[in-house]
């Protein structure tokens, strides 16, 4: 019986840690999505239709991932970011590096890589 209780306590603290990590990841994804959205909004007139559509899709992917991770945090479940969207966004913003807003978005995206 004692071993069972100790096991449940260990499981409980692991789950809480998973929930905290999911919440932190989701907050970082929201911060990144905000930087991506700000770039898209302020540079709208300078973006091609295709690039704007690509950034819009990546922005939506980041928001969806954050939403999913906030939900997983509630249930203390393991979570992860949308790595494909992050990698694609890094490519897009690397090509727009002359923009200060693109640099900010790129820095936030790189934080999601680690």
Query: What are the mean pLDDT values of the chain's consecutive 10-residue runs (114 residues total)?
Result: 39 57 93 96 95 96 95 87 92 91 93 84
Kindly list the distances between the CA atom of residue 95 and the CA atoms of 43, 88, 92, 104, 105, in Å, as whole numbers in the listed order. 14, 11, 5, 13, 12
Q: What is the pTM of this model?
A: 0.79
Position 113 scores a pLDDT of 84
DSSP 60: H
Q: What is the pLDDT of residues 20-48, one digit of tens each?
A: 899 999 999 999 999 999 999 999 999 99
């Amino acid at each position: 019986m004692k071993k069972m209780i100790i096991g449940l306590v260990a499981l409980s603290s692991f789950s809480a840690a998973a929930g905290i990590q999911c919440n932190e990841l989701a907050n970082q994804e929201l911060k990144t999505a905000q930087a991506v959205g700000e770039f898209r909004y302020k540079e709208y007139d300078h973006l091609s239709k295709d690039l704007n559509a690509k950034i819009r899709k990546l922005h939506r992917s980041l928001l969806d991932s954050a939403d999913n991770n906030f939900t997983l945090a509630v249930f203390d479940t393991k979570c992860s970011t949308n790595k494909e969207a992050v990698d694609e966004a890094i490519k897009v913003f690397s090509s727009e590096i002359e923009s200060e807003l693109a640099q900010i978005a790129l820095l936030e995206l790189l934080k999601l890589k680690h």
